[in-house]
Amino acid sequence: MFSEKAIRVGGAVALLPLLVEHGVDPDALATEAGLSAAVFANPDNVVPFAALCRLLKLAEDRTGLPDIGLRACVNTGLASLGKLGYLAGSCATVERGLVALEACLQVHDRGAMPVITSEGDTAYVGYEILVPGIPGANQMTFGAVAIATNILRSLCGPDFRLRQVAFAFPRPQSTSLFRSFFDAPIRFDAARSALAFDAHWLARPIQTADPYLHAMLADDVRRDLERLGESADDTVRRVVSSLVAGGKFSANETAAAFGVNRRTLARRLRERGTTFQALLDDARYREAQRLLQSSALPVTEIAFRLGYADTATFTRAFKRWSGTSPRRWHARNRAL
C-alpha cells in the first residue's frame, strides 16, 4: 500500500477568498472537512489529501459552483509549486521540466501523480488520483489541470496552445469557465484527465533555464524525497501505476524506468517478496476501478486500455481481484 497521503496547500490558498465571496464561512467549512482554515495562510503547509478533496466537495455544495476547483486555480502556476516550480523552470527544455515535475511532485502531492506521455505528434500531461472514489476528486482534478495548463503556458511562451482537454468526470452544469480558460475543445467522461498538445513543444528551450540553479535545486529536492521515507515498495508501485496509466504494461518498460534490465528488476522484486505480475495486476485493478467509477467508457474499451486482448480475459481478471464482474462493480460504485 502507499504511505499516508498528504498534499501541500499550494494553490488552494485561493479557495478561502472564494468562499467568503460567495457567502460561505471558510472557518466553519474547513472545520467540517476536518481541517483548520489557518493552514491556508501558508502555501507550504501540508494537509491530508482526502481532507482537502472533502473541503472542495463541501465548497461545491455550499456555493453551488460546479467549477470551484477550476476557479480557485486559474491564476496559479509555477510559483505555487515553490522550489519544484523553480526546478522545472531552470531546466533546459519543456520536456525536461515536465519530467522533473513528474519525478518530484510527490514531494508536494502524495495523493495523485502526474503522467507525461507522447503518442505520435501529440503529447499529454495527465493527473491521476491514486485512490478512486474520493469525494471532491473532480474539483481537485479541475484545479490541478488548470495549474498544469498555466505551467505549460509559462514554460512554452505566449504562442502555446492546447489541442484538447479531457476530464475523467461527468460534465458539470456550467462549462463556460472551462471553455474560456483552456481555450480548447473540452471532453468529459473521458478515460483519464489530461491535457493534449503538439509534441513539438517538448523540445522548446525554456527561457529561464539555469544549469547552476537547476543543480542546486535538484540536490535540495532529492533530499526532500529522501526525507519522505517512501519505501522501495511504494516507489515501485508508484512507477508501475504511472506506466499503466500511460498505456505501458511490460516488465522491460518498468525496468527501463529504473535504469536496470528486466532480470535485475525481477531479482530485486523477489528480494521484496513480490513479482512484476503482482504489481501489474494491482496497478491494473486500481486503474480499472478509476475508469469504471469516473468515466463513461464501455467495458470493452477499458479492457483495451488496460492491455487485455479481449473483454472476457479482462472480466476474469477483474472477478479474481474484486469478486464480482466489472459491470456489477460499476453499478455499485459509479461516481455521482
Average pLDDT (147-156) is 95
| pLDDT in the model for residue 2 | 35
Decide: 272 and 262 in contact? Cβ < 8 Å.
no
167-201 pLDDT, tens digit each: 999 999 999 999 999 999 999 999 889 999 999 99
Decide: 73 and 14 in contact? Cβ < 8 Å.
yes
Residue 299: partners with Cβ closer than 8 Å, 6 or more residues away: 292, 311, 314, 315, 326, 327, 330
| pLDDT in the model for residue 24 | 95
| pLDDT in the model for residue 232 | 53
Average pLDDT (81-88) is 87
Q: Which of 126, 121, 274, 269 has its CA nearest to residue 203? A: 121
Rounded CA separation 89/96 (Å): 9
Average pLDDT (136-152) is 95
Give domain limits for the chain. 67-203, 233-333
Residue 1: partners with Cβ closer than 8 Å, 6 or more residues away: none
- Asked if the model's pLDDT at residue 152 lies above 90, the reply is yes
DSSP E strands in 144-232: the ranges are: 164-166, 186-187, 194-198
Q: What's the pTM value of the predicted model, to 2 decimals?
A: 0.73
Give residue 182's Cα distance to chain centre.
18
- 21 burial (CB, 10 Å; 0-12 / 13-18 / 19+) is exposed
| pLDDT in the model for residue 84 | 87
- Asked if the model's pLDDT at residue 3 lies above 50, the reply is no
Residue 4: partners with Cβ closer than 8 Å, 6 or more residues away: 48, 110
Distance, first Cα to last Cα, the chain: 26
Pick the CATH number of 233-333 from 3.90.930.12, 3.60.15.10, 1.10.10.60, 1.20.120.80: 1.10.10.60
Place of cell 480548447: 184
Average pLDDT (4-32) is 88
Looking at per-residue pLDDT, the higher value among 294 and 118 belongs to 118
* SS3 (DSSP) at 82: coil
> For all residues of the chain together, what is the average pLDDT?
86
Rounded CA separation 111/49 (Å): 6
- Asked if the model's pLDDT at residue 281 lies above 80, the reply is yes
